[in-house]
Amino acid sequence: MIWAGGKLRVWPGRPAPLGAHWDGAGTNFAVFSGSAANEGGAPDEHGGVTLCLFDEDDAEIRIPLPERAGSVWHGYLPDVGPGVRYGYRVTGPRLRPGDLQDPSKLLLDPYARALTGSLRWTDSVQPASGDGSAADSAPDMPRSVVVNPWFDWGQDRRPNTPWHRSVLYEAHVRGMTQRHPDVAPELRGTYLGLCSPPIIEHLLALGVTAVELMPVHQFVHDRRLIEAGLRNYWGYNSIGFFAPHDTYGVEGGGRGAHVQEFKVMVKTLHEAGIEVILDVVYNHTAEGGAGGPVLSFKGLDNPGYYRLDPEDPSAYVDYTGTGNSLNMRHPSVLQLIMDSLRYWVQDMHVDGFRFDLAATLARELHDVDRLSSFFDLIQQDPVVSQVKLIAEPWDVGEGGYQVGNFPALWSEWNGRYRDCVRDLWCRDRGVLGEFASRLTGSSDLYQDDGRRPHASINFVTAHDGFTLADLVSYEHKRNEANGEDNRDGTDDNRSTNCGVEGPTDDPVVFAHRDRLRRNLMATLMLSQGVPMLLHGDEIGRTQGGNNNAYAQDNEVSWIDWSAVDSEFLEFCRGLIALRRRHPALQRHRFLTGRTVAGDTRPDVAWFTPAGVEMTWEDWGHEARQVAMWLNGDLAETGPRGEVIADDTLLVCINAADQPSAQVLPDERWAAAWTLVLDTASAAAPPSTRYPAGGTVQMGPRTILFLERR
C-alpha cells in the first residue's frame, strides 16, 4: 500500500473506543459488526471488515482490519491523521435472518466525528439483489472523516441555568440566520452565524436562557424530496450520531472544520449565558425500511441495529413512521446512544437534549416501558444524568402517547398544555378547569411521580405545526408546496382564522389576531413550568399556512428579518422580563391550594368574576372567566438557604367574546392592586391602582396581570 509516497503501516490497535481516534501520532479504527462473521478471529475470505481510505484524488485504498474482539474489528494506522476520509466494507456469509452485508457497499462509520460529501441517490446505494451484479456504492456515498479532537475551550463554563428559571427557544441553525441582513453573508445558515453578535443580541434582549436546536446530527435528504427538488430541512433523518451536520459549516464540511465551528458556537453562546440543547433523533435512522438504502447500520449489522419483524426478518418494525426503529434491546445500540450522548456533553459541551419520539426509546418489546433499559442507563450515567433531558413523549405506535409518564429525571413537551391553551383561546371550548391545571404546572400529570413543575415544558407552537402568527390566521393547512397534495401535516390544528382565512387588510381581523397572539404568549409566560418559544414567533413569522414545513429549506421556513413586528417583539420582551422578576411565576414546587406556613392564606386561590372564591360548581363547561391569586410568600429557599419571596400576584382571565368586569378579592388577600399588564393592547397599561374589592373592567378575550401594592 502506498500513502503519501510511503508504505502504509497497519498495527493491531485497540477495540475501544469505537470510531476513528487520532492520538497525535496515528489513528485507531474500531467498528462493531456482528454481520462480518467468520470462524476464526481474523479477517479472511469468509468474512471481515475492510477499512477504505480515500486519497486526495479520491482513489480508494482497502485495508482489512487485522484484529477482532468479539464483534468489534480494529486496527491502528500510524500514518493516518486528521482530515483523512474513510469508510468500511463488510464481507461475510449471511448467516442470520435479516443480514444485509455486501462488500459492494461503502459504509459510513456510526461513530464518525465528521462526515463530508453528499449522498447521490442511485441504485448503487440500494440493497443488492444477491446475484452479484451490485454496483459499487463508493462513488455515490459521503465519507467519514478523521478529526483532530483538540480545541481550546479556555474558561468555558456551562451556564447551568436552573430549570425553573429557564426560557427555551426552539431554533433552526439555517432558518434562524439565512435571511438576517446583519449576519455576514458567508456566515448565514451556519453554526458561526448562530453565534454571531446580531443573533446573540436578539436572544439576550428577548430574555431566553437556552436555544433548543433542531437536529444537527448529520442527516440525509430523502430520495423523494431530492427528486422533487426539495430538501429535508428539519433534519429528522439522522445517519451520524456523533457528527455535526456538515453543510452548517462555513466551509460546507470539507475535512471536518465544521466540528471546530460547532464548538466555537457553543463556547460563544455560553459566554453570553445561553445554554445549548440538542434535538436528537435516536429512534430511527435515514436508512428507512425494506428497500431503503444501505448506508451504514444495515451493512454492519442489520438484525442488531434494527427492530425486525420476527415473522418476516425482511420487514422492519416501525414505531416512527420513517420505515425503521432502532433496536433498543441490543446492547451495542444502547452503547451507541449512550456513547453519543456522553460525547456531545463531554467533548462538545452541550447542556442537554430533547429526544424526538422518545416513547420509541422506551419500547422493550412492543409496549412503552418506563423501566426500560434505556432509562436505567440514563439514570445511572454520571454524565448524561446531570444535563437537561426533555422527552417528546409520544410516537406513532399503539400506546405511544405517554405525556406524564416519563421518569423523574425527565421533563416533557407537554402536548396537553398546547392543546388546552389553543382550545381556550382559539376554539372557545369549555376547558377552563383543565386550563387552570395547565396554568399551574400540570400537577395532575407530574406531581404523583415526585417531579417538579419544570417537568412540564409548556409550549403553544413548535416546529411541527403552525407558527404563532399562522395559528390565528388559518383554520386549514396550506401544505401544497410539500408535494403531497396537502395530505401531510395534521388537520387537528385547534386554530382560528379570526373570520378571514389567511392574509387580509381588515383592521378588525388584524386587531383580533394580535390580541389572541398576546393572550397566547402571556399565558405561556404566566404559567408554572418551563416556557418554550418557537423561533420567529416573537417577530410575527409566518409560513403562509404550511403546518408541516419539513421540506421547505427556503423562504417559507427561514425567518424574514425584514418583516419584524416590532410592537409584538417589545411585548414579548416585556413578558419574559415580567416572568423573570417574579419568583412566584417560577416556583420550585407545585401549588397545592393549602395554607402556607405562617400564613392563613393558601399558596393559590381562584375567584369568580364577583370576587368570591370558586367552588366546584363554578368550574362548569360554561365558565369563561376566572382570577388566579398567587401568594408571594413562596415558602421556598434558594441554593444557599436564602428565603425566596415575591409580591402577591393576581392573574385575571376573560376568555369570552364579551367584555366583563372583575371584582378584586377583599382585604384579606391584598389591600390594593396595581395593573401591570393588559393584553387588550400591546402597550403597557397606565399604572392604575385598584383598592381591595374594587372592580376592574376587562375587554373581550383579555388577560390582566396585577401586583399587590
Give me the catalytic one of 212, 318, 392, 395: 392
- Per-residue confidence at 368, pLDDT binned at 50, 70, 90? low
CA separation for the pair 442, 169 (Å, rounded): 21
Which tens digit of pLDDT belongs to each residue from 513-546? 999 999 999 999 999 999 999 999 999 999 999 9
Let me know if 99 is a catalytic residue. no
- Per-residue confidence at 268, pLDDT binned at 50, 70, 90? very high
Report the range of poorest mean pLDDT among 138-147, 241-250, 353-362, 464-473: 353-362
pLDDT at 43 over 70: no
Which residues lie closer than 8 Å to 229 by C-beta, 6 or more apart? none
For the segment 406-430, the average pLDDT, to the nearest whole number, is 92
Which residues lie closer than 8 Å to 410 by C-beta, 6 or more apart? 389, 390, 391, 455
323-326 CB contacts, 8 Å cutoff, 24+ apart: 323/284, 323/287, 323/288, 323/289, 323/290, 323/292, 324/284, 324/285, 324/287, 324/288, 324/289, 324/292, 325/283, 325/284, 325/360, 325/363, 326/282, 326/283, 326/284, 326/285, 326/360
For the segment 455-473, the average pLDDT, to the nearest whole number, is 98
Please, what is the average pLDDT of the chain?
93
pLDDT at 400 over 80: no
For the segment 413-435, the average pLDDT, to the nearest whole number, is 93
CA separation for the pair 576, 525 (Å, rounded): 6
Residue with cell 390544528: 493
Residue 339 near residue 72 (C-beta atoms within 8 A): no
* φ, ψ dihedrals at 465, nearest 5°: 130, -170
For the segment 422-439, the average pLDDT, to the nearest whole number, is 92
pLDDT at 385 over 90: yes
User: The C-alpha cell of 365 is what?
Assistant: 418489546
Give me the catalytic one of 356, 412, 434, 707: 356
Smallest CA-to-CA distance from 308 within 339, 282, 287 is with 287
The pLDDT of residue 3: 54
Residue with cell 446512544: 337
Which tens digit of pLDDT belongs to each residue from 138-184? 999 999 999 999 999 999 999 999 999 999 999 999 999 999 999 99
- Per-residue confidence at 2, pLDDT binned at 50, 70, 90? very low
pLDDT at 366 over 60: no
Residue 514 exposure: Cα atoms within 13 Å on the Cβ side: 19
pLDDT at 469 over 90: yes
What Rg, from alpha-carbon coordinates, does the chain have?
A: 28
For the segment 195-205, the average pLDDT, to the nearest whole number, is 98
The pLDDT of residue 132: 53
Let me know if 392 is a catalytic residue. yes
Smallest CA-to-CA distance from 651 within 631, 667, 630 is with 630
CA separation for the pair 173, 189 (Å, rounded): 6
For the segment 50-69, the average pLDDT, to the nearest whole number, is 95
Summary count for the chain: helices (H), strands (E) = 14, 33
